[in-house]
């Protein structure tokens, strides 16, 4: 019974052990689950030690009872131990625990003491193993944690980086289809990352849009496709993101990835946002190429463009025209209205130029108020002339700046490649010379380059140089022209007129040197000298005689003027009432506060103010009411020809007079030369007359002498302006660019003539006309039709005693043939 019980117990123990063993398999899993070491040891003992002990015990009992032969029992135990070892492979504790438990169970079955000993030894070994396991586990868990931390850190850093939008990552499969792309990029493309997956990588970029991209960008696109096909690494390829309506640039980098068997798996790489950098670059290049105020090309870019044309591979493509444009009176706007208004004006000028030129050429601003236009291709001169006059016309329309209406003018110089130069320096220098000639010709004009301009420019430069010393060398002098009251025929005053006695060139007209003085910044000095000198001379004249001094618009804009006037009056000791300042209309190009303040300051001093050259400038009758003028000077261009039938000048004079009377102002008719003109202006009611009919300008000495004989003035001169336009036929020689041409002169007036017999003369051409031996006049072509050209003389011709044009009345003059006089040449209007 004891043996039967023992067998039963053995079977039970073995069965339980089997159940536990199955459970032990779970230990492996539990082990992985990462429990604490002590907990694990407990589990190992319970799940491995106990069943193994059971197996050992049961089998030992079966063997002892003779149920199983010991040899077989041993074999079973060995295989159980082996299975346990396999199951527990790699797990030291489990292994040890299983082996110790099983063998100590056998020992137990044979001798309880030996078994106990085995358990103790096993326990000791187990404790050592436990300690060891503890260390191993600790080290392992630390390693795992560290690895996990590292992985986390890398992930977080990447995620942060992706989130900033500066950089992003991508991966493709072997066909180049997207496997992964950063969410930020998907968002930029207004897609989800999932939508992008499976699409070609190149879909992220704008590749088809080659026209818009520069050459380098489309190149980058091609390179990308190439790398993807060739499976080669690339870095920092610049591509444009495929985002409609937004410009975004990326630099992308990528490398092919291979698996362990060296099979190509696809590409992996990153992208970085370049937009800001690119914008900065563009901004820098804009700054380098464009004028920041007007947005036009700058000087550098213009000369680059010109150079490009001039070195074109085919000679035919090297033709072009360069137009230099300079604004007239811009400085006045800038000085009186302020720089912001000046800037505003430049912008509007730029717009008009661009609109005018369109795609036919390139417009640039060279700086200040200087503009340039390059027109590529061969354009005939008449066409260029038309373009130039178009530009002048468009720029001369009024501008609105901060509510004020402003008028300026423009002068244009034209040089043509290859005729006038084949290098950009030569072309620009020659266009500049032409521009100078245009300005010299009276502004608001255009001029083609001609070789003889070189000497003109040299002459002008020299004049400017000489003018700097003219004052110091006592070459400037004031002449005085009497102003006569119409009703009493008595001299009421004199107008002071500058004269320059040049040591070489002799006498130079103020019409010529005053603009030079204004441009060279000499007018303030010269103007102040004139004021002081006039006051000093005035101090020696009778008290009822006045002096009128011309004041340039530049002087008028200078706040120091009232101080200078006061000082000039005080040092000469004359009554302010006796000084009259002549101001031209050009000061009214704007109606700002500075003007009003200046008028008030001058009126406070007590000087008289006269409006000079009325009707030649920006006639706005509005300002006449506001400005405190004592006198209006009617320009001689209205007086001239007023006596001729059909002329409207008389009507104009009449209306100016009635306006002046209404405003309680005097009127002076300027430049009255004939008795007929005198009768007319008297009839029209002008209160004063100034002109050769009474007296030419006199030197200070002659003026004093004239005064000593009393104030009564007597009109002396021709009755009629009979020879205002003389119809004559005269053979002359024209000289231009070192060549001479024969031609006929018909219809000559004081200001111009009709020349017959020459063809194809571009407007603006300047030549010298040899009218007679030793008699040469400089003239500018204004129009050309068939073989006839209209020319304008650079200076009006003198009249002789009989009222004929002096230069045209040599001793042996042929009788004038009767010719149709359909052509009129308008008298030039002087501008300040
Ligand atoms: P303006 O003020 O209109 O002066 C009148 C001009 O007409 C003077 O020329 C005078 O000699 C001329 N003149 C007078 N009567 C007759 C005439 O019957 N027939 C003709 N054909 N001309 C006549 P001028 O002296 O050559 O002066 C020319 C211009 O130079 C002046 O025109 C004035 O604008 C300027 N100017 C002269 N002196 C000064 C000055 O001291 N300061 C400034 N800023 N400008 C001056
Ligand atoms: Ca004057
Ligand atoms: Ca005048």
Question: Ligand 2: distance of its center to the CA of 434 in Å?
Answer: 29
Angle at 628 between CA 622 and CA 630, to 5 degrees: 110
- What is the reported pLDDT for 826? 36
Torsion angle in degrees (nearest 10) through CA of 15, 19, 25, 27:
-120
Q: Is 511 touching ligand 1 by the criterion CB < 6 Å?
A: yes
- What is the reported pLDDT for 73? 81
Looking at 96-110, 307-321, 467-481, which range is the least confident one?
96-110
Looking at 90-94, 219-223, 332-336, which range is the least confident one?
219-223
Asked if the model's pLDDT at residue 118 lies above 90, the reply is no
- What is the reported pLDDT for 820? 33
Q: Is 498 touching ligand 1 by the criterion CB < 6 Å?
A: yes
Asked if the model's pLDDT at residue 409 lies above 50, the reply is yes
Find which of 124-138, 313-327, 735-749 is predicted with most confidence, using mean pLDDT: 313-327
Give the mutation target among 478, 497, 671, 793 for probing the ligand 1 site: most ligand atoms within 8 A of CB: 497
Q: Is 518 touching ligand 1 by the criterion CB < 6 Å?
A: no
Please list, in sequence order, all residues whose beta carbon lies within 8 angstroms of the beta carbon of residue 42, skipping any fewer than 6 positions away: none
Omega within 30 of 0 (cis) for the link into 5 = no
Q: Which atom of ligand 1 is nearest to the CA of 527?
A: 42
Q: Is 514 touching ligand 1 by the criterion CB < 6 Å?
A: yes
Q: Is 586 touching ligand 1 by the criterion CB < 6 Å?
A: no
Angle at 735 between CA 731 and CA 738, to 5 degrees: 150
Cα gap 676→279, rounded to integer Å: 74
Helix (H) or strand (E) holding 740: strand 739-749
Angle at 282 between CA 278 and CA 285, to 5 degrees: 140
b/e 516-526 (16+ beta carbons within 10 angstroms → b): bbbeeebbbeb
Q: Is 269 touching ligand 1 by the criterion CB < 6 Å?
A: no
Radius of gyration of the chain (CA): 53
User: Among all ligands shown, which has an atom nearest to the Cα of 721?
Assistant: 1
Asked if the model's pLDDT at residue 217 lies above 50, the reply is no
Question: Ligand 3: distance of its center to the CA of 635 in Å?
Answer: 6
Q: Is 691 touching ligand 1 by the criterion CB < 6 Å?
A: yes
Question: Ligand 1: distance of its center to the CA of 483 in Å?
Answer: 13
Nearest CA to ligand 1 atom 16: 671
Asked if the model's pLDDT at residue 25 lies above 70, the reply is no
Q: Is 692 touching ligand 1 by the criterion CB < 6 Å?
A: yes
Percentage of the chain modeled with pLDDT above 70: 89
Question: Ligand 2: distance of its center to the CA of 185 in Å?
Answer: 75
Strands (E), 11-71: none
314-338 mean pLDDT: 88
Question: Ligand 2: distance of its center to the CA of 581 in Å?
Answer: 9
Looking at 10-14, 173-177, 786-790, which range is the least confident one?
10-14
User: 501: pLDDT confidence band, cut at 50, 70 and 90?
Assistant: very high
Question: Ligand 1: distance of its center to the CA of 498 in Å?
Answer: 8
Nearest CA to ligand 1 atom 42: 550
Tell me phi and psi for residue 227, to 5 degrees: -60, -40
Nearest CA to ligand 1 atom 12: 671
User: Among all ligands shown, which has an atom nearest to the Cα of 691?
Assistant: 1
Task: Look at the block and give the residue holding tokens 């107008």.
Answer: 495
3-state SS, 225-275, equals: HHHHHHCCCEEEEEEEECCCCCCCEEEEEEEEEECCCCCEEEEEEEEEECH
Q: Which atom of ligand 1 is nearest to the CA of 673?
A: 18
Query: Do residues 680 and 643 make contact, with C-beta atoms less than 8 angstroms apart?
Result: yes
- What is the reported pLDDT for 622? 67
Of residues 808 and 474, more confidence is placed in 474
Q: Is 509 touching ligand 1 by the criterion CB < 6 Å?
A: yes
Question: Ligand 1: distance of its center to the CA of 497 in Å?
Answer: 6
User: Among all ligands shown, which has an atom nearest to the Cα of 671?
Assistant: 1
Q: Is 671 touching ligand 1 by the criterion CB < 6 Å?
A: yes
H helices of 476-609, in order, are 510-519, 523-538, 553-556, 561-572, 593-605
Query: Do residues 614 and 633 make contact, with C-beta atoms less than 8 angstroms apart?
Result: yes
Question: Ligand 1: distance of its center to the CA of 499 in Å?
Answer: 10
Which residue in 610, 608, 606 sits closest to 624, CA to CA?
610
Cα gap 791→777, rounded to integer Å: 11
Q: How many CB atoms lie within 10 A of CB 659?
A: 16
Read off the pLDDT of residues 148-197 as tens digits, 9 standing for 90 and up: 999 999 888 888 887 776 788 899 998 889 999 888 888 888 888 888 89
SS3 assignment, position 597: helix
Q: Is 726 touching ligand 1 by the criterion CB < 6 Å?
A: no
- What is the reported pLDDT for 588? 76
Query: Do residues 269 and 236 make contact, with C-beta atoms less than 8 angstroms apart?
Result: no
Q: Is 530 touching ligand 1 by the criterion CB < 6 Å?
A: yes
Asked if the model's pLDDT at residue 671 lies above 80, the reply is yes
SS3 assignment, position 323: strand
User: 129: pLDDT confidence band, cut at 50, 70 and 90?
Assistant: confident
Nearest CA to ligand 1 atom 40: 550
- What is the reported pLDDT for 83? 81
Strands (E), 63-203: 167-172, 178-181
362-388 mean pLDDT: 93
User: 468: pLDDT confidence band, cut at 50, 70 and 90?
Assistant: very high
Percentage of the chain modeled with pLDDT above 90: 38
410: left (phi over 0), alpha (psi -120 to 50) or beta: beta
Torsion angle in degrees (nearest 10) through CA of 445, 449, 454, 459:
-10
Q: Is 552 touching ligand 1 by the criterion CB < 6 Å?
A: yes
- What is the reported pLDDT for 493? 97
User: 442: pLDDT confidence band, cut at 50, 70 and 90?
Assistant: confident
Query: Do residues 557 and 597 make contact, with C-beta atoms less than 8 angstroms apart?
Result: no
Mean pLDDT of the chain: 84
Cα gap 320→339, rounded to integer Å: 34
Question: Ligand 2: distance of its center to the CA of 134 in Å?
Answer: 115
Q: Which atom of ligand 1 is nearest to the CA of 552?
A: 44
Cα 756 to the chain's mean position, in Å? Answer: 48
For 175, what's the count of Cα atoms within 13 Å in the CB-facing half-sphere? Answer: 5
- What is the reported pLDDT for 209? 45
Nearest CA to ligand 1 atom 21: 671
Angle at 653 between CA 332 and CA 404, to 5 degrees: 30
Query: Do residues 49 and 17 make contact, with C-beta atoms less than 8 angstroms apart?
Result: no
Looking at 111-120, 252-261, 470-479, 570-579, which range is the least confident one?
111-120
Q: Which atom of ligand 1 is nearest to the CA of 750?
A: 21
Read off the pLDDT of residues 41-59 as tens digits, 9 standing for 90 and up: 777 777 778 888 888 888 8
Looking at 283-297, 405-419, 534-548, 700-714, which range is the least confident one?
283-297
Query: Do residues 24 and 51 make contact, with C-beta atoms less than 8 angstroms apart?
Result: yes
Query: Do residues 757 and 746 make contact, with C-beta atoms less than 8 angstroms apart?
Result: no
Asked if the model's pLDDT at residue 537 lies above 90, the reply is yes
- What is the reported pLDDT for 740? 82
Task: Look at the block and give the residue holding tokens 């946002």.
Answer: 273
b/e 680-714 (16+ beta carbons within 10 angstroms → b): bbbebbbbbbbbbbbbebbebeebeebbeeebebe
User: 591: pLDDT confidence band, cut at 50, 70 and 90?
Assistant: low
783-802 mean pLDDT: 80
Nearest CA to ligand 1 atom 45: 550
What are the structure tokens assigned to 369, written together?
A: 């108020």
Asked if the model's pLDDT at residue 813 lies above 60, the reply is no
Which residue in 260, 239, 267 sits closest to 169, CA to CA?
267
Looking at 108-112, 277-281, 823-827, which range is the least confident one?
823-827
742-755 mean pLDDT: 82
Nearest CA to ligand 1 atom 25: 497
Q: Which atom of ligand 1 is nearest to the CA of 582?
A: 2
Question: Ligand 1: distance of its center to the CA of 628 in Å?
Answer: 23
Helix (H) or strand (E) holding 10: helix 2-32
Asked if the model's pLDDT at residue 765 lies above 90, the reply is no
Cα gap 151→100, rounded to integer Å: 41
Asked if the model's pLDDT at residue 657 lies above 50, the reply is yes
Give the mutation target among 509, 533, 550, 680 for probing the ligand 1 site: most ligand atoms within 8 A of CB: 550
Parallel/antiparallel/unpaired status of strands 409-417 and 404-406: unpaired
Question: Ligand 3: distance of its center to the CA of 512 in Å?
Answer: 15
- What is the reported pLDDT for 688? 98
Cα gap 444→665, rounded to integer Å: 31
Query: Do residues 447 and 503 make contact, with C-beta atoms less than 8 angstroms apart?
Result: no
Of residues 540 and 237, more confidence is placed in 540
359-378 mean pLDDT: 93
Distances (CA, A) of 790 to 92, 735, 746, 751: 120, 16, 10, 11
Nearest CA to ligand 1 atom 35: 510
Nearest CA to ligand 1 atom 20: 671
Find which of 22-36, 557-571, 591-605, 647-661 is predicted with most confidence, using mean pLDDT: 557-571
Q: Which atom of ligand 1 is nearest to the CA of 633?
A: 3
Of residues 725 and 673, more confidence is placed in 673
Asked if the model's pLDDT at residue 816 lies above 50, the reply is no
H helices of 557-648, in order, are 561-572, 593-605, 621-626, 636-639
Cα gap 204→527, rounded to integer Å: 72
**Burial (0-12, 13-18, 19+ Cβ within 10 Å), 501:** middle
349-363 mean pLDDT: 93
Total length of the chain: 832
Nearest CA to ligand 1 atom 6: 671
- What is the reported pLDDT for 592? 65
Q: Which atom of ligand 1 is nearest to the CA of 549?
A: 41
Q: Which atom of ligand 1 is nearest to the CA of 530?
A: 41
Q: Is 550 touching ligand 1 by the criterion CB < 6 Å?
A: yes
Task: Look at the block and give the residue holding tokens 């800037």.
Answer: 343
- The reply to whether the predicted model has a pTM over 0.85 is no
Of residues 372 and 442, more confidence is placed in 372
514-540 mean pLDDT: 95
User: 801: pLDDT confidence band, cut at 50, 70 and 90?
Assistant: low
What are the structure tokens assigned to 696, written together?
A: 């030419």
């Amino acid at each position: 019974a004891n043996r039967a019980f023992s067998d039963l117990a053995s079977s039970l123990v073995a069965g339980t052990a089997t159940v536990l063993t199955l459970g032990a398999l779970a230990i492996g899993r539990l082990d992985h689950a990462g429990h604490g070491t002590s907990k694990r040891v407990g589990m190992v003992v319970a799940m491995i030690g106990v069943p193994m002990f059971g197996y050992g015990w049961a089998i030992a009992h079966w063997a002892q009872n003779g149920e199983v032969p010991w040899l077989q029992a041993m074999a079973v135990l060995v295989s159980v131990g082996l299975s346990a070892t396999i199951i527990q492979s790699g797990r030291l504790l489990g292994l040890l625990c299983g082996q110790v438990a099983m063998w100590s169970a056998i020992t137990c079955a044979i001798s309880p003491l030996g078994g106990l000993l085995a358990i103790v030894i096993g326990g000791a070994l187990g404790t050592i193993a436990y300690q060891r396991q503890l260390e191993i586990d600790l080290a392992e868990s630390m390693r795992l944690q560290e690895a996990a931390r590292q992985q986390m850190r890398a992930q977080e850093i990447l995620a942060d980086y992706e989130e900033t939008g500066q950089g992003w990552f991508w991966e493709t499969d072997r066909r180049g289809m997207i496997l992964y792309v950063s969410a930020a990029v998907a968002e930029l493309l207004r897609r989800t990352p999932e939508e992008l997956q499976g699409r070609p990588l190149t879909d992220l970029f704008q590749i088809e849009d080659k026209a818009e991209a520069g050459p380098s960008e489309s190149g980058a696109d091609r390179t990308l496709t190439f790398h993807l096909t060739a499976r080669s690494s690339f870095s920092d390829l610049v591509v444009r993101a495929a985002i409609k309506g937004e410009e975004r640039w990326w630099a992308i980098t990528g490398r092919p990835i291979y698996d362990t068997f060296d099979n190509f798996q696809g590409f992996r790489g990153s992208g970085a946002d370049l937009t800001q950098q690119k914008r900065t670059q563009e901004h820098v290049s804009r700054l380098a190429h464009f004028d920041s105020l007007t947005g036009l090309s700058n000087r550098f870019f213009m000369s680059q463009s010109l150079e490009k044309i001039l070195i074109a591979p085919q000679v035919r493509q090297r033709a072009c025209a360069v137009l230099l444009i300079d604004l007239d009176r811009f400085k006045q706007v800038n000085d009186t209205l302020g720089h912001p208004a000046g800037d505003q004006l430049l912008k509007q000028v730029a717009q008009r130029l661009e609109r005018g030129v369109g795609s036919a050429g390139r417009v640039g601003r060279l700086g200040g108020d200087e503009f340039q236009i390059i027109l590529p291709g061969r354009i005939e001169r008449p066409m260029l002339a038309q373009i130039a006059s178009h530009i002048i016309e468009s720029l001369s329309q009024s501008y609105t700046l901060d509510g004020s209406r402003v008028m300026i003018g423009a002068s244009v110089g034209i040089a043509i490649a290859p005729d006038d130069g084949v290098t950009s320096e030569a072309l620009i220098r020659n266009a500049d010379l032409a521009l100078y000639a245009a300005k010299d010709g009276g502004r608001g004009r255009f001029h083609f380059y001609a070789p003889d301009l070189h000497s003109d420019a040299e002459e002008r430069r020299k004049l400017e140089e000489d003018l700097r010393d003219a004052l110091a060398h006592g070459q400037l002098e004031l002449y005085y022209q009497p102003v006569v009251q119409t009703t009493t025929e008595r001299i009421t005053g004199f107008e002071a007129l500058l004269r320059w006695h040049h040591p070489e060139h002799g006498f130079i007209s103020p019409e010529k040197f005053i603009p030079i003085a204004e441009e060279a910044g000499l007018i303030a000095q010269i103007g102040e000298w004139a004021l002081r000198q006039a006051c000093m001379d005035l101090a020696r004249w009778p008290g009822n005689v006045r002096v009128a001094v011309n004041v340039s618009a530049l002087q008028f804009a200078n706040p120091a003027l009232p101080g200078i006037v006061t000082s000039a009056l005080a040092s000469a000791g004359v009554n302010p009432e006796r000084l009259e300042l002549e101001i031209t209309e050009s000061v009214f190009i704007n109606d700002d506060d500075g003007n009003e303040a200046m008028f008030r300051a001058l009126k406070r001093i007590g000087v008289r103010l006269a409006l000079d050259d009325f009707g030649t400038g920006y006639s706005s009758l509005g300002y006449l009411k506001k400005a405190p003028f004592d006198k209006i000077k009617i320009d001689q261009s209205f007086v001239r020809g007023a006596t001729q039938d059909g002329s409207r000048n008389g009507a104009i004079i009449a209306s100016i007079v009635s306006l002046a009377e209404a405003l309680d102002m005097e009127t002076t008719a300027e430049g009255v030369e004939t008795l007929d003109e005198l009768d007319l202006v008297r009839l029209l009611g002008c209160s004063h007359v100034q002109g050769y009919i009474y007296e030419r300008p006199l030197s200070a000495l002659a003026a004093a002498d004239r005064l000593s004989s009393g104030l009564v003035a007597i009109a002396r001169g021709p009755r009629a302006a009979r020879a205002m336009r003389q119809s004559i036929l005269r053979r002359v020689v024209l000289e231009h660019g070192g060549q001479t041409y024969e031609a006929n002169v018909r219809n000559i007036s004081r200001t111009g003539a009709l020349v017959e017999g020459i063809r194809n003369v571009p407007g603006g051409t300047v030549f010298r006309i040899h009218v007679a031996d030793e008699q040469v006049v400089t003239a500018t072509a204004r129009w050309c039709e068939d073989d006839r050209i209209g020319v304008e003389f650079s200076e009006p011709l003198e009249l002789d005693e009989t009222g004929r044009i002096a230069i045209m009345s040599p001793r042996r003059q042929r009788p004038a043939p009767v010719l149709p006089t359909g052509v009129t040449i308008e008298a030039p209007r002087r501008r300040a």
